[in-house]
Amino acid sequence: MAKRIDISGLNAFYGSHKAIEDISMTVEPRSVTAFIGPSGCGKSTFLRTLNRMHEVTPGGRVEGKVLLDDENLYDANVDPVTVRRTVGMVFQRPNPFPTMSIFDNVAAGLRLNGSYRKSELNDIVERSLRGANLWNEVKDRLNKPGSGLSGGQQQRLCIARAIAVEPQVLLMDEPCSALDPISTLAIEDLIGELKERFTIVIVTHNMQQAARVSDRTAFFNLAAVGKPGRLIEIDETERIFSNPSVQATEDYISGRFG
Amino acid sequence: MSHAPTGVIERPTPASPGPKSSLGSRSLPRLAPLGFAVVSVALGVGVSLAAGWESRIQWGLISALLFLAISYVATTIVENQRQARDRLATSVMWVCFLVAVVPLASLLWTTIVRGSERLDGYFLTHSMAGVLGSEASGGVYHALIGTLEQVGIATVISAPLGLLTAVYLVEYGKGSLARAVTFFVDVMTGIPSIVAGLFILSIMLMFSLEPSGLMGALALTILMVPVVVRSTEEMLKLVPNELREASLALGIPKWRTILKVVLPTAIGGITTGVMLAIARIAGETAPIILLVFGSQLINTNPFEGAQSSLPFYIYEQYRIGEAASYDRAWAAALVLIAFVMILNLVARGIARWKAPKTGR
């Protein structure tokens, strides 16, 4: 199920502006890797390069290699659509499809890919909603519109939608930044359960969250405004938060800058 | 300004009787504007009668100006300058609203009153075959058929064409081709209908084709496509980018994302846009005169032979100049307005039905 990601020498651009520079790291399978760092340092951009969503942005361009179990996502013969089926994504703001019911939202990935059997669909939707800890709250109103749920429920709906297509890797771009503490807790618990099955990468601004949910943490920083973001260090989360090897990381974590 | 630092405290308070309150102040009763309106209309009519002016429009304008002046002055005296300016702005808006609505209501009223004299089942189901202009007989059936067919064909051609163009411009187009398309759509929006008619006429003469409903429909298509493109484009731009990204991130191909996520989200607005475009072309006369030729007979085949259409019928009947033909023209105008009105209502219904649901 879960796959390892090896990134080497990755640069990403918006037009002529270089957003991130020379990033190399390994993301371990069946674990949670957190990206922390100040705003604008390219964490989200980097995350979006991992499922080829960066190139959807006008002017977006990527150089370098992203190996998903030895397959380079940026090989010329790789179809970005297949990549995105393998590497799912949850966004900062919950974005359920407004025209679809809760059921249809979860089923959207399968239906619109055309790769499902009708008899399986009910099971997959139920399994995904259970997986996202949402089933008990919505099982009686699966045909109601997804936009009628609360923010936290919508975000869990989006997670259910993402895991319904059985990706290998799940990318989460600040999934809790628009949510209250209780919904955040629900999602963090969920991340803990999901890492049994998926490789999870999460971008977060909340360092307690990174410390709580992640196994490994990567710290990004940029030299100055307008300069590209870089990976400063990546290590076991415990080490990053107790005894980081780079001074800049310690300064950031202890709140001395950034 | 020697008092500047303490100006707030030393400012003379308006002489207001009654309990002292720092927040409350004297104010006009809620129905005051209505009173102003009555007074100003009375004054306006009085002044106009005294001066011997005949024109009702003049009466109305004088009353409107009086209304603005009276409400401003009265509010300044009773309340204060800021309230007066607020009331002036409100009054100007109301006056403008009335100036815009009165002609519209009057037009609708006249058409309904004069049109309903002849409008009945017979009128809707009979043509003008063998009816003399002065006879109080005949009907609009052939013109109704013509309008329905011509507008129908034009819609069938231009709705998909416009929709696909808009999808290209919003979802795919970048660079010089998209800019060129946008430019030409803008230019096409400004084409007078007679020019579109002449364009198709020149093609018709080039290939020595006969006038028919289809030719008229082609000219209407030229007029309709840019309207559909423009409105659809705006609607597609309103679809949040996050929805496209959410869909793409699920591994859904772009074309399916557009078909199943973007278009359904915008379908309400797109439908309204298409309906408004239909309403626009349903009233076109010039290309019909040139290309469909006009006829008194029922011709249900839009691909062969002359047809009529509602706007053409109105023009034709009005030109005969008999009392009976005037009645027919008004009745046909009422039919045309009803046709457009029904389309609008249908569009609103579809827009409401298809709009993204937000309820719990």
Give how far B238 is from chain A: nearest CA, Å.
Answer: 13
A57 touches chain B (CB under 8 A): no
What DSSP string runs through B162-213?
HHHHHHIIIII--SHHHHHHHHHHHHHHT--HHHHHHHHHHHHHHTTPPP-H
Q: Answer whether B358 sits within 8 Å of A148, measured CB to CB.
A: yes
CB atoms within 10 A of CB A185: 14
Q: Answer whether B249 sits within 8 Å of A165, measured CB to CB.
A: no
C-alpha closest to that of A168 among A138, A198, A192, A191: A198
Q: Which residues of B touch A97 (CB under 8 A)?
A: 243, 246-247, 261, 265
Reported CATH class of domain B141-354: mainly alpha
Q: Answer whether A145 sits within 8 Å of B357, measured CB to CB.
A: yes
Q: Which residues of B touch A84 (CB under 8 A)?
A: 248-251
- pLDDT by residue, tens only, chain A of 258 residues: 578 899 999 999 999 999 999 999 999 999 999 999 988 888 999 999 999 999 988 889 999 999 998 889 999 899 999 899 899 999 989 999 988 899 999 999 888 877 677 788 899 999 899 888 889 999 999 999 888 898 889 999 999 999 898 888 999 999 888 788 888 888 898 899 888 888 999 999 888 899 999 999 999 998 888 889 999 999 999 999 988 889 888 888 888 764
B264 touches chain A (CB under 8 A): yes
A53 touches chain B (CB under 8 A): yes
Q: Which residues of B touch A105 (CB under 8 A)?
A: none
- Tell me what pLDDT residue A131 has: 85
Asked whether the beta carbons of B61 and B41 are under 8 A apart, the reply is no
Asked whether the beta carbons of B235 and B167 are under 8 A apart, the reply is no
Distance CA(B113)–CA(A167), nearest Å, equals 68
Q: Answer whether B245 sits within 8 Å of A56, measured CB to CB.
A: yes
Query: Which structure tokens are listed for B28?
Result: 């006009």
- Tell me what pLDDT residue B108 has: 93
Distance CA(B71)–CA(B37), nearest Å, equals 9
- Domain map (residue ranges) of chain B: 29-110, 141-354
B5, with CB counted inside 10 A (0-12, 13-18, 19+), is: exposed
Asked whether the beta carbons of A240 and A33 are under 8 A apart, the reply is no
Cα B336 to the center of its chain, rounded Å: 14
Cα B143 to the center of its chain, rounded Å: 23
C-alpha closest to that of A90 among A189, A12, A183, A163: A163
3-state secondary structure of A29: coil
Residue of chain B nearest A96, judged by CA positions: B243
Q: Which residues of B touch A89 (CB under 8 A)?
A: 249
Which residue type does B153 have? I
Distance CA(A223)–CA(A162), nearest Å, equals 35
- Tell me what pLDDT residue A258 has: 47
Residue of chain A nearest B353, judged by CA positions: A99
Distance CA(A158)–CA(A170), nearest Å, equals 12
What DSSP string runs through A224-241?
STTSPEEEEEEEEHHHHH
Q: Which residues of B touch A144 (CB under 8 A)?
A: 359-360
- Tell me what pLDDT residue B6 has: 45
Q: Which residues of B touch A95 (CB under 8 A)?
A: 240, 242-243, 245-246
pTM of the model: 0.81
**What residues of chain B score a pLDDT lower than 70?**
1-21, 355-360
Residue of chain B nearest A149, judged by CA positions: B360
Residue of chain B nearest A80, judged by CA positions: B251
Give how far B249 is from chain A: nearest CA, Å.
Answer: 5
Query: Which structure tokens are listed for A142?
Result: 């699966």
A161 to A158, A191, A198: CA distances (angstroms): 5, 15, 14
Q: Which of A99, A103, A110 to mutate to test the interface with B (most CBs of B within 10 A)?
A: A99
Residue of chain A nearest B254, judged by CA positions: A81
For chain A, which domains are there?
A: 3-97+168-252 (3.40.50.300)
φ, ψ dihedrals at A9, nearest 5°:
55, 45
Asked whether the beta carbons of A68 and A8 are under 8 A apart, the reply is no
Beta-ladder partners of A202: A34, A172
A151 to A102, A148, A206, B118: CA distances (angstroms): 14, 9, 18, 59
Interface A:B, Cβ pairs < 8 A: 88
B176-215 confidence digits (pLDDT tens): 999 999 999 999 999 999 999 999 999 999 998 888 999 9
Q: Give A22's DSSP letter.
A: E
User: Which residues lie below 8 Å from residue B185, measured CB to CB, with a gap of 6+?
Assistant: B165, B225, B226, B229, B230
A143 touches chain B (CB under 8 A): no
φ, ψ dihedrals at B219, nearest 5°:
-65, -40
Which residue type does A9 have? G
- Tell me what pLDDT residue B7 has: 43
Give how far A242 is from chain B: nearest CA, Å.
Answer: 35
Rounded to 5°, angle at Cα B19 from B13 and B23: 60
Which residue type does B256 have? R
Cα A87 to the center of its chain, rounded Å: 9
Beta-ladder partners of A199: A169
